[in-house]
Chains A and B, each alone.
Chain A
Amino acid sequence: MTNYVGKDVPHDSARGHVTGESIYIDDIPPMHGELVVDFVWSPYAHARIRSVTLPERVEGVAGLYTHRDLVHNELGPILHDEPLLASDLATFRGQPIVVIAAESQEAVLAAKRAIRIEYEELKPILTIEEAIAARSFIGETRFIRRGDADAALATAEHVLEGTFENGGQDHFYLESQAALVVPGEHGALTVHSSTQHPTEVQEVIAHLLGLDMSQVVVNTKRMGGAFGGKEAQATHPAVMASLVALRHKRPARIVYDKDSDMHVTGKRHPFRNRYTVGFTSAGEIVALKVDLYSDGGAYADLSPAVMARAMTHAENAYFIANAEIRGTVCRTNMPPNTAFRGFGGPQGVATMENIIEEIAAVLKRDALEIRRVNCYGVDSRNTTPYLEPVENNTLPRLFTELEQRCDYRARMEAVRAFNDASRTHLKGLSLSAVKFGISFNTKFLNQANALVNIYLDGSVQVSTGATEMGQGVNTKIRQIVADELRVPLARVQVMQTSTEKNNNTSATAASSGADLNGFAARDACVKLRARLDDVATRYPDFDWPKLVKAAYMERVPLGERGFYATPRIDWDWTSGQGHPFLYFTMGTACSEVLIDRFTGELKVLRSDVLMDIGKPINPGVDRGQLVGGFIQGLGWVTTEDLRYTPGGELLSHSPTTYKIPNINDLPEIFNVDWIDVENPVNIKGSKAVGEPPLLMAISVWCAVKHALRFVSNGDIPKLRLPATNEEILMRLTEYTKRGAIHA
């Protein structure tokens, strides 16, 4: 009857978005007596707080609160090690110290002027190198080991050592962190939060304010972008507003401005990775040792899990018989770094793709040949270093198809010819791959529940733990439900996410939102449909509304809960082994870049992306993820350059100084496509698609590295990520000064 899955249905909020009717936290009309919430944060990366002097009375200021006003002060998604409000020690610049409740924005400013905090500046740790030197770490170093890397390195034909460094990345969601809290009876709170993780917001509010979780309802209608930044760090503003709402029994709203948001929130983790790789003259990697170090910032946040994903992606698409992967999270005095689309995967994969480019440089071979030699096999050479088999492996096919489609060989020849001839510009070309594991690395998070209610008129409400941040999860769930119940799409409404409807949910993260919640919604629908089919046997001619009415009259329940727990997954850190992922989303991308030899200016001439994303539930939505993810990744690898003062103050804290890709940064030629393959283990044959496309942009960075090979006089070209114009020019200059160009 209906068949919406697989169709290009418009996003279910699209109409509201294009008319401006969609409501975000700051758009909710002000409520009577509402208070403005803000906070004073540490201006120092590391300082002893000698004293905090709060003014007696400031016009328009309703209350000022410190750590003493919280029942508990520690939060954190993994270790609960982060004080919400610093007491005697400030450990990062941006750490909240005093919460302000005021009648107006002007009164907030007056409060900030009147609050006196005395600091004694301490020496901060601001980089990974400094943290390593000080042995300042979060948690233990972890290992994934297979075979005997040392022995294989000792006998390898070629051994290469190096360091790969990447910078952070600000999420730059357009809607900054925000929450509105409305107090209810007997300490109950209703929280409207821009969060990917309503349950965590609920749990942290309850814990810090001494409430039961049952007293706190967290609602998320939508987010104006999140990208991981509202997974763990949406809790801070929500708790601050909750504290105020509870104390004053008045609604309280907090909305960060963009500069503050960029100053105080954590970012994608910078990494500094050392590696030793052994390989044959044919380019086959026989051993790999990688020592991954991330900058976790001042507290754990999600850093251990981010490191786990970096470690399980450090071999990327390539089989390595002897591997030793070590991961250490550094504790620094930066804001706690957090989830960001890819979640450590991009850092692991970029490290490996960098190694491949370097092997190619050493062997003076085409890097694609090195990739093909080492690519995971379909029937053999297809087990990861952590011993999960790479099932349904489409990587070899993706390599072959993309190589042909983008005319790689001929273009590589053209690039060589161009670089021989041009005195002014350089080109580079690279075709890289991604194998991205789908499931939370933490097993228990891989569960979801859904609630489906059918009303007397035949209309349907669906509630799941999935949160809508633009990625289209609600649209996909709506399509699944309409198909499963066999009702027109227009009869199905996906409701705002609420902890009142769905309890103990996981974050909408790890690309898993549609997988987990889609399965849970389907589970509820299957049960409902079975009951209705039974009723239908007695009323064969009834259409949907009549059938629903008949079921009601027969006292058949028209509401159902669904549940899903991802099967087959497991992980054990003591052995560094297991089956952490249900399946892998895979892809290949080829990018060609043009570099100005005199200015380092970079232009992406062409990118071709070819992925295996299963059978998309909504091809239009998934195309948006592929393109949007790629461009976000392009920003990370090129223009998004976080700059700090020597004291750790972020200088690039707004779009004037922090440059995310602009519409003119799209590759001049940009082909995005996927192969037609069904994923046998996931909902409707689909694959998760949120994060993997971001990693396809690593091909751009590899192409820059490839271009530098033409001027590096046989040296392995070094290149930091992001490859900003400045980074490229400084590398070019290094080689020029040694006489490589102007020949």
Chain B
Amino acid sequence: MRDYVLLHINGEPHRITGAAAFQTLSRFLRYEQRATGTKIVCEEGDCGACTVLVGRVENGALRYRPINSCIHFLFQLDCASIVTVEGLSKHGLTPMQDAMVQCHGAQCGYCTPGFVMALAGMFETESRDAKQALTGNLCRCTGYESIIRAAACVEEQPKADDLYPPQPILEAIRDVQSEAVRIEHFYKPTSLDEATRFKAANPKTVIVQGATDFGVWRTKRGFAPEAILSLDGLDGLGELSLDGETLVVGGRVTLTQFEAAVRGLVPELARIMDRFGSPQIKNAGTLAGNIANASPIADTLPFLYVMNAHLELTGTMGARVVPIAGFYKGYKTLDLAADEIITRIFIPMPKDGETLRLYKISKRSHLDISSFTAAMLMTRTDGRIEAMRIAYGGVGPTVLRLTKTEEFLAGRAMALETFLEAGERARGEVAPITDVRGTKDYRLQLAENVMQKFYYDAIGGGA
């Protein structure tokens, strides 16, 4: 058992012990390492000014991805290799940075290091879709156009491995990675058994995987759990496979990995995942985390509801499987025992002949928490609706299946009138509230209208 986390910053090893492990990476970089290129603006993962690359060992190599360092904690970064804007610039400007200079990609400059690092993240992948790569970075000056132009004129860009030879880093990690880590109330075990026993012994444990929710509670509300558990040391929870018609997603599969898997399997979900969050958030956050956070506007939940996904919950006595809808007992209340961990998620895939539509209505199209979400799964025969599953989010304390509206629709003609009436029924089946993301009336109207929208989408009549 180690009492420290080992992380590399711009190629240099750091051993972090004690209370220091509980600070955010951004604060550590700025105020302890005096590497002030990484900026702190929102401290909630919504502006990207704090973006750095985090490399993790995957298949024996370091795989670097951008994350928000303002809601990422040092204890999460055991066996990780970090590259900051200072580290990227160690030999002077890289071609991408030079393009940013030449194209006027920077004005006030405060967001710029974050943009540079998010673009560096893009160049670690095959994608050259700058808009997608920069979804998580806000700029208030440029209007983004110059940054897109800069990204487009880069032909070659060194990768993190080119700047920081991976071998010494990998060797240092190899020496320690099989050891569990215990620092104060943080525990990173190496087996599921140890994990569940720890959780049983510490009933108020919070599992912190990507920290995309936890980080915000901590920076904004000072949330300090009695015990923190990391699943990073566990083999097996990274499973992501298709078992017949069912996608099996391990408990620490990130949203980025999940999105890559569903891109071919469920394009409709991939469309929503595109807008769901930034690369930085999706690289850190997990599907299990999105489920466990139990937000009534969690963007994956309506989909999981209509697909009738099941969760495998593993505790000290073994595993059990529960349907997703049964997992939520009320607002942020889960059917999860103190010792249990979400180990796997089973998602039946849409079948031929089924029409799946997902809706995410938010104030801004990308990277915005939804005002209203909906998922609809329809089976149709000869112009009639055979069966329909409808799940709405943002209209009550949990995501809701609209069983009465579903019953109404079953067996009816596939016609606008049907869906007009279904809309009215749907409206009657929900009880939304007014909050910062929308008024009650707005949400009621969306609950009604989305039925018509689905009708036009399903008949292919949309513009």
Contacts and interface: CB of A to CB of B under 8 A. Distances in A.
B436 interface: yes
A263 B299 CA distance: 28
A389 interface: no
Contact of B86 (A20, A226, A594, A639): A20
Interface stretch (A507-515, A661-669, A676-684, A699-707): A661-669
Nearest to B450: A598
B158 to A, nearest CB: 14
Contacts, number: 250
B142 A628 contact: yes
A442 interface: no
A222 B113 CA distance: 16
Interface in B12-46: 30, 34-44, 46
Interface size class of A (residues with CB under 8 A): 35 or more
Contacts of A666: 143-145, 148
A636 B445 CA distance: 24
B49 interface: yes
Give the interface centre of B43, B145, B442 by most chain A CB atoms within 10 Å. Answer: B145
B130 to A, nearest CB: 8
A601 B141 CA distance: 25
B230 interface: no
Give the interface centre of A470, A661, A666 by most chain B CB atoms within 10 Å. Answer: A470
A737 to B, nearest CB: 10
Contact of A662 (B97, B108, B138, B142): B138
A631 B143 contact: yes
A18 B438 CA distance: 38
Give the interface centre of A471, A660, A663, A726 by most chain B CB atoms within 10 Å. Answer: A663
Contact of A470 (B49, B100, B107): B107
Contacts of B410: none
B112 A26 contact: no
Contact of A16 (B42, B84, B109): B109
A666 to B, nearest CB: 6
A26 B140 contact: no
Contacts of A422: 463
Contacts of B41: 174-176, 258, 655
Interface in B416-463: 416, 420, 435-439, 441-442, 445-446, 449-450, 452-453, 456, 461-463
Interface string A584-624: 00000000001010110101000000000000000011011
A19 interface: yes
A18 B463 contact: no
A664 B456 contact: no
Given A20-B85, A659-B368, A660-B138, A654 B44 contact: yes
Contacts of A670: 145
Nearest to B454: A598
Given A224-B108, A598-B452, A29 B34 contact: yes
A316 B147 CA distance: 32
Interface in B122-160: 130-131, 134-135, 137-148
Interface string A6-23: 000011011111111111
Contacts of A733: 445
Contacts of B385: none
A599 B130 CA distance: 28
Contacts of B102: 10
A224 B110 contact: yes
Query: Is chain B's binding surface mostly helix, strand, loop or mixed?
Result: loop
Nearest to A652: B436
A664 B365 contact: yes
Contacts of B109: 13-14, 16-17, 22, 222, 224, 470
B37 A624 contact: no
Contacts of A621: 104
Given A601-B365, A628-B142, A18 B104 contact: no
B167 interface: no
A712 interface: no
Contact of A730 (B36, B366, B442): B442
Nearest to B37: A20
A136 interface: no
A444 interface: no
A623 B449 contact: no
Interface of A: 10-11, 13-24, 26-27, 29, 171-176, 222-227, 257-259, 418, 421-425, 469-472, 594, 596, 598-599, 601, 603, 620-621, 623-624, 627-632, 639, 641, 643, 651-652, 654-657, 659-666, 670, 672, 724-726, 729-730, 733, 742
30 contacts: A16-B109, A17-B109, A18-B101, A18-B112, A19-B89, A20-B86, A20-B116, A24-B39, A26-B40, A172-B140, A174-B41, A174-B47, A175-B39, A224-B39, A224-B109, A258-B43, A418-B463, A424-B461, A424-B462, A624-B146, A627-B146, A639-B363, A655-B46, A656-B44, A662-B364, A663-B131, A664-B366, A670-B145, A726-B363, A730-B441
Interface of B: 30, 34-44, 46-47, 49, 84-86, 89, 93, 97-98, 100-113, 116, 130-131, 134-135, 137-148, 216, 220, 275, 359, 361-369, 371, 416, 420, 435-439, 441-442, 445-446, 449-450, 452-453, 456, 461-463
Q: Which are the 4 A-B pairs with shortest beta-carbon distances?
A: A20-B37, A470-B108, A224-B110, A17-B109
